[in-house]
């Protein structure tokens, strides 16, 4: 089994990275292949809303950058973990651009992430953690992913790199999430037939 994790922080070894490592530590010990991709230090532009990914159906965004490779990593993985710091009570800009594009391509190409195990984690200095976590969860929820939980919301606190390890409750939250993530990966290995995918119904508030 494989899990790919995406670090949306500009800092490669900051508290978002620490949170991801805490979640994936037991998975790695159990033999799960874990890959951490650093997104937050890249130059990733946002979605153009051109819908070419839906027309082309080639599992690619027309903006040909790292995102297309990351989409394939996500498609091939059994589980996806997404993590972000808090920027003005929201997802970091580069991470948001990546997620908008990756999940839009996936949804327009046969729901590439459907029924994969997926979870989100947030690192925050003081406040804004819950709005950011809710934003990250929107991507997983909309994609019909299987979302493991913990014993509290998936937020850990700290300012300087390494501070998060002093947040005893946050550390436990991440470790419990990791245990439940691994448990769900194992459950997903069974041969139970999945429900048929339904064709999406699109409406608006005018008609």
Q: How far apart are CA 77 and CA 14, in angstroms?
A: 24
* Tens digit of each residue's pLDDT (9 = 90 or more) over 39-80: 999 999 999 999 999 999 999 999 999 999 999 999 999 999
Is residue 172 situated within a structural domain? yes
Q: Radius of gyration (Cα) for the chain, nearest Å? A: 17
Is residue 197 situated within a structural domain? no
Is residue 196 situated within a structural domain? no
Indicate if the pLDDT at residue 154 is higher than 90: yes
What 3-state class would DSSP assign to 62?
coil
Is residue 92 situated within a structural domain? yes
Is residue 106 situated within a structural domain? yes
* 92 close to 120: Cβ distance less than 8 angstroms: no
Is residue 19 situated within a structural domain? yes
Is residue 193 situated within a structural domain? no
Is residue 207 situated within a structural domain? no
Q: How many domains does the chain have?
A: 1
Q: Kindly state the percentage of the chain with pLDDT values over 70.
A: 100
Indicate if the pLDDT at residue 207 is higher than 70: no
The CATH number of residue 107's host domain is 3.40.50.360
Q: What is the pTM of this model?
A: 0.95
Mean pLDDT of 29-45: 97
Mean pLDDT of 131-156: 98
Determine the structural domain holding residue 91 and report its residue range. 2-187
């Amino acid at each position: 089994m494989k899990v790919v994790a995406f670090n949306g922080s500009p800092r490669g070894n900051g508290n978002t990275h620490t949170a991801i490592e805490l979640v994936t530590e037991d998975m790695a010990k159990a033999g799960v292949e874990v890959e951490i991709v650093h997104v937050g230090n890249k130059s990733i532009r946002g979605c153009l809303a051109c819908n070419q990914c839906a027309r082309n159906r080639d599992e690619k965004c027309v903006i040909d950058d790292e995102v297309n490779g990351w989409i394939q990593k996500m498609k091939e993985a059994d589980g996806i973990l997404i993590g972000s710091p808090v920027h003005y009570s929201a997802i970091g800009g580069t991470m948001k651009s990546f997620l908008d594009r990756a999940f839009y391509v996936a949804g327009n190409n046969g729901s590439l992430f459907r029924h994969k195990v997926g979870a989100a984690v947030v690192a925050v200095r003081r406040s804004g953690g819950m709005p950011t976590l809710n934003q990250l969860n929107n991507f997983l929820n909309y994609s019909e992913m299987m979302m493991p939980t913990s014993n509290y919301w998936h937020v850990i606190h700290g300012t300087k790199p390494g501070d998060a390890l002093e947040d005893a409750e946050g550390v436990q939250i991440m470790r419990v999430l990791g245990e439940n993530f691994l448990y769900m990966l194992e459950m997903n290995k069974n041969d139970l037939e999945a429900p048929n995918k339904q064709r999406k119904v699109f409406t608006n508030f005018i008609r």
